[in-house]
Structure 1
Amino acid sequence: MAERTDAVRRERLDRDRVLRAAVVLADEDGIDAVSMRRLAQVLGVVPMALYKHVAHKDALLDGMVDAVLGEIDAPDPTVGWAEAVRARILSAREVVLRHPWARRVMESRAAPTPVVLAYMDSTIGTFLAGGLSVDLVHHAMHALGSRIFGFTQELYDTGPGPTPEDLAALGPQAQAAMQQLAAMFPNVATVATSRPHDPSSVVGSGCDDRFEFEFGLDLLLGGIERLHRRGWSSLGEVPA
């Protein structure tokens, strides 16, 4: 009976099931908990059974990223290019929020998978279908960077500025150090403490909360649209 049960498990195991189980495991326990041995335990198979579907750990991680990208909404062909790109990027952000480990894995990959390339190709296609020049789209993709996948890379992990309650809780020496820094860099202190960020919506590190993400996205898309209307070229040749 046990042998028959094992046979059924092996028969039903496929690549999609392996990847879905790995994604759930990473969502629940973090990406560091994902190993071939642990995944085999979750699926109720021996580790060697997994290698028929994913060649090695790196292939598993690539497949997990592909599975996550598959959750991003397709571009809406009934709206303008800017609205379609914006909606899709915000969909990507919601996906990354559901799977916060995905950013770390994507940043660790040496080369994009065909699924990642297909996602980029589709995004580029939305720009081109809107009439943007290849030249402008090339630079727009560089400007958007990782934002098309739903996250941004902050230069420094500054985090939200301290609240008055935070400062009051510090000891005298720490308060003096904070006051000294504020005196040395008053402009940084003014901006850093001007508005607290939403700690519940951060993807990765820094100030990447929803407001900051959408603010930056709208600035970029608005600028791209203005350049498109002007007939901008990186060669500096603007049609009359």
Structure 2
Amino acid sequence: MVVAEIYVPRAGTDWRAELRHRAISAHEVLLTHRWATGLLGSRVNVGPAMLRYVDATLGCLITAGFTYEQADRAWNALDSHIYGFTIQAINFPLDPAEFASAAEQFLPLVPAETHPHLRTLSGLVIAGSHSGAADFTFGLDLLLDGLAGLLTR
């Protein structure tokens, strides 16, 4: 039932836009149904919604020019990003609004001599010039860029 709420990509259109839409939709749906991510990654699911979802994803990739092997690896890499990022977002102990105060609190525990980069990054978060918040679409776009590179080779 949860998978039925996720956007199903269409073949024959802009594969990258379709898979991006699919990934963002899946992440949002799984954040809504916080219990579902662990189940999707730990069981064989051959229900009709999952079969449609996976077959459509493969069709989108195959139609775009990926081989079956590349398409298989691509949707698994995308789902790993979705599931991993979603689990991390659900379980992270701080709200992004708390990052600056948490960085300020923990900064004295981070020695500058041994962890200069972490201190600098923490300073950026404290100053408000960097949010420190994880960005789902950053990793997603890296994956999609890498897949696009496969098609040009």
**TM-score (norm: length of structure 1):** 0.48
Mark the runs of 5 or more structure 1 residues left unpaired by the alignment: 1-66, 199-206, 231-240
| Structure 2 residue 117 is matched with structure 1 residue 179 | no
| Structure 2 residue 3 is matched with structure 1 residue 69 | yes
What whole-Å deviation, never above 9, does each CA across 1:70-106 have from its counterpart, x for those lacking one?
A: 1112223462111111111111122122222222333
| Structure 2 residue 131 is matched with structure 1 residue 196 | yes
- CA distance, structure 2, for counterparts of residue 192 and residue 123 of structure 1: 39
Residue 224 of structure 1, CA deviation: 0.7
- CA 1:124–1:78: 2 relative to 1, 3 Å: closer
Mark the runs of 5 or more structure 2 residues left unpaired by the alignment: 125-129
Within 5 Å, which residues of 2 pair with 1:112-123?
112-114=45-47, 115-123=49-57
3-state SS of 1:218 partner: helix
Tell me the residue number matched to 1:135: 69
**Counterpart amino acid of 1:188?**
L
**Counterpart amino acid of 2:78?**
L
3-state SS of 1:111 partner: coil
- CA distance, structure 1, for counterparts of residue 5 and residue 84 of structure 2: 12
What whole-Å deviation, never above 9, does each CA across 1:3-52 have from its counterpart, x for those lacking one?
A: xxxxxxxxxxxxxxxxxxxxxxxxxxxxxxxxxxxxxxxxxxxxxxxxxx
Residue 68 of structure 1, CA deviation: 1.0
What whole-Å deviation, never above 9, does each CA across 1:120-158 have from its counterpart, x for those lacking one?
A: 22211210011211232233234323335694565xx69
CA RMSD after TM alignment: 3.3
- CA distance, structure 1, for counterparts of residue 61 and residue 27 of structure 2: 19
Residues 93, 149 of structure 1: 8 Å contact kept: yes
- CA distance, structure 1, for counterparts of residue 110 and residue 82 of structure 2: 39
What whole-Å deviation, never above 9, does each CA across 1:163-213 have from its counterpart, x for those lacking one?
A: 2x4466x5xxx764x133x54222234345543245xxxxxxxx3xxxx21
- CA 1:78–1:148: 2 relative to 1, 3 Å: farther
Residue 225 of structure 1, CA deviation: 0.8
Q: Pick from 22, 26, 39 the counterpart of residue 92 of structure 1.
A: 26
Residues 91, 150 of structure 1: 8 Å contact kept: no
Percent of aligned positions that are identical: 31
3-state SS of 2:5 partner: coil
- CA distance, structure 1, for counterparts of residue 122 and residue 93 of structure 2: 8
Tell me the residue number matched to 1:213: 136
- CA 1:175–1:126: 2 relative to 1, 3 Å: closer
**TM-score (norm: length of structure 2):** 0.70
Q: Which has the higher helix share?
A: 2
Q: Which structure's CA Rg is the greater one?
A: 1
3-state SS of 2:110 partner: helix
